[in-house]
Structure 1
């Protein structure tokens, strides 16, 4: 007989009441979680840039984007696990939720361990493929190898946090994310400089802090899950469910592959762009890495709004309230223009002090970073519109359309502009390719929303996505920026 789970906290009815205020109230908590997650990468970049200089900053930019892509590969499967856990809790079948968690952990953690080992051994070749500048290569290698050691813990933390959200527990992931951020940010100067009994590890010290934070937070989270006897823990005979079940694994892979592939498209495009940036030298690579930190924050309002729009649209589609679906989308677009536009304006006015936080006011990379920010940041206004429209069409099960659009805008358009216009624009072709690609994404997203036939999708017997699924889908569509981990 199915167990009865506790009520899911924070669940709300999005099919009635005022649209604008409900949408904003739903988006703000997601925005706060994203800020906390990205703050970790920013603080670490400040430590590295101030203590070790531009070479080290360029090295971390190369290392972090490799880890982001590897985690992105399994993020879609984690999201699929989250959906299945949420569905099981909706049926009040805790045993099924535990089986899903067991299959997910039992499948992907061993894969992560193997990938980490291979990555550690092949790190020089990976950095060579990225075209890492020669001055930054030894630093990047030292950093990336330790990051690979941290990867299994980072993956398991991401998987556990996502499945906890699927069970309705949004607070536990937030607390342990905060613990990881505090440890990582606090230990960075300790291991970089060798404070107290700690050895001075330089750039490897930053990665060591990340590894320590990930493993300590993971073990603390596991201890908390068992101490509080949270519903997803496995005990006794249930531990056998860590042996992957083929049927459940097929569902996880089948549902997770499109979203994982979408993140691979975005991050592989970012890797290709990084290889082009690295050709410009270490100062430009460092400037680009710092600009990515700011871009992480610029896209946060749109990510949160995309998640909120997706959740509200899903509930209203399920209720047959199509007029509200259109109104929700319009409100999301308006809020995005106001909030993202305000951030872009603020950074345009105060770009120098914001960028100087990472590299110091007298850094030779600072003028380059200011130029990149001025040329490229405005495109996020249009990318935010795309996220809102994608959120709506995904709410009715359309995931292939956004994937195709992102592939076109990231590869033929963005990389095509970066390569094709380089001979007459120089490095500016790289920076202009971002807004040009984002405007293209928006135009295709509008066409999909207006003429894509997504309204004709069949809802049931399959229910529309719930709040948890929609949030993970919206957070998956993002530029890697300065974030170390995907949203999890």
Structure 2
């Protein structure tokens, strides 16, 4: 067994555990970024708009499964911190069956509601056919997304953050290679880009499942572990469902903003599609740092080490601030050349719109960095409901202000961009204030 975060130097252990998560999620972003780069360069603005809007939708759908897996992972980490391996195996068996059933249902609903989804997103008429073609293919990858995220979160819960990175690395390289072949050589259009992503997802999902079966006998489930345990189910459901709600609300809000962005036309739609990929790359590492921080907190919460948790909070906040400050400077300074990676230099209107987005968002990345730490903390101490509250504050403000400010003629689409950091700041203030007023009772619950 590996990855005990309840002993040793806090900053060193936290960073060593977090770095593979950061690298892994950056690789995961390459699935859709590879589509966006190749589609934007070789298939044109309509295809770029279709793939970009599809990305926002898939983030929302994936967030449902990811939330369920992350909630279970927090429970696994707490049991690992307590060294209760029998309870860990039983909870693993039960959560796999429950979340697997949810993944199957989500897959069926996605196919059934495809046309309604496209209408709800206010997709321009000239983009509808391409978006439908892309989504129909990409939905076949939902089961693979479940497999990878479930076993990746299980391994991370017990301190192995390297193995998920390795499987993602293979899948990312495979995705780029297949993109080039299917789109440029075979000329399969957006369906080719989707097929490349789906095949790569299955490579990582089935690969990590096989690795778990062969290399982690200490986590392997026996027949005695496949039994109903109401107490475990209630605890897992409380963490998983509320974490799922938090992730879904967060991405549903983004999806609502996507519909508003689409109403400004193809130029803004394409600019947003490209800029969001850059944005995701920029703050994704600190999101993964928040997830690593959550595992650290959960293991120490299970072990009853309140003082180590306090020291870990200070270390994580300082590390996140340093990273976000560096990334903010880089994105603000390089916004134009970064947009040029996705958009032809002749599409100046698209580039200008994307630069405006990046310079507003990029200046305030610590707001989202701190919010990810708060999400991870409250999930780890079995208070996922607080993460939901913070998400409602953040996204509620964002959506309301996006619609209100964009209606001001002097602001227009800039009002949408401005609403985001305001939402981050409000949620941060609520989360930090709640912790300082209740920290003794929160940390005593382990």
User: Which category of TM-score, normalised to the shorter sequence, fits these structures?
Assistant: 0.7 to 0.9
Does structure 1 conserve the Cα–Cα contact (< 8 Å) formed by 2:41 and 2:343? yes
- Contact 1:302-1:387 at 8 Å conserved across structures: yes
User: 1:203 aligned to 2:190?
Assistant: yes
| Pick aligned residue for 2:394 from 390, 405, 409 | 409
Q: Deviations over 1:381-426 (max 9, x none)?
A: 2222333455555554443333212202211x21121111223221
1:432 and 2:431 aligned: no
d(CA) in 2 for partners of 1:225 and 1:57? Answer: 37
Distance 1:112 1:355, change over 3 A: same
**Distance in 1 between residues matched to 2:153 and 2:333, nearest whole Å:** 37
Which aligned pairs between 1:436-475 and structure 2 lie closer than 5 A?
436-451=422-437, 453-457=438-442, 459-460=444-445, 463=446
Displacement after TM superposition at 1:272 (Å): 0.3
Partner of 1:355: 339
Checking the alignment, whether the CA contact within 8 Å between 2:283 and 2:369 is kept in structure 1 is: yes
Can you list the C-alpha shifts for 1:228-284, whole angstroms capped at 9, x where unaligned?
A: 46444457x57x94x877664443222211211110110010000000000011121
- The 1:215/1:310 distance shift into structure 2, 3 A limit, reads closer
* SS class of match (2:341): helix
Q: CA deviation at 1:205?
A: 0.9
Q: How far did 1:361 drift?
A: 2.0
Kept in 2: contact 1:104–1:244 (CA 8 A): no
Does 1:37 find its partner at 2:28? yes
Q: Distance in 2 between matches of 1:117 and 1:66?
A: 16
Give ranges in structure 1 of 5+ residues lacking alignment: 1-6, 464-488
How far is 1:80 from its partner? Answer: 3.4
Which ranges of structure 2 fall in alignment gaps of 5 or more residues? none
Deviates more, 1:64-73 or 1:130-139: 64-73
Offset at residue 84 of structure 1 (A): 4.2
Task: Determine helix, strand or coil for the equivalent of 2:394.
Answer: helix
Cα distance change, pair 415–399 in 1 and its aligned pair in 2 (3 A): same
CA distance in 1 between partners of 2:91 and 2:304 (Å): 25
Answer yes or no: is the 8 Å Cα contact 1:262–1:403 preserved in 2.
Answer: yes
CA deviation string 1:426-448 (max 9, x = no partner): 11111111122122222223322
Change (3 A) 1:295 1:389: same
In the alignment, what sits opposite 1:252? 236
CA distance in 2, matches of 1:89, 1:432: 42
Cα distance in 2 for partners of 1:205, 1:69 equals 22
Residue 39 of structure 1 deviates from its aligned partner by: 3.0
Q: How many residues align?
A: 441
Maintained 8 Å contact 2:242/2:388: yes
Q: TM-score, normalised by structure 1?
A: 0.81
Contact 1:107-1:244 within 8 A present in 2 as well: no
CA RMSD of aligned residues (A): 3.0
1:75-474 pair list within 5 angstroms? 75-86=66-77, 96-193=87-184, 195=185, 199-228=186-215, 230-233=217-220, 241=226, 248-307=232-291, 309-310=293-294, 315=300, 318-321=304-307, 325=310, 328-364=312-348, 365-392=350-377, 395-411=380-396, 413-424=397-408, 425-451=411-437, 453-457=438-442, 459-460=444-445, 463=446
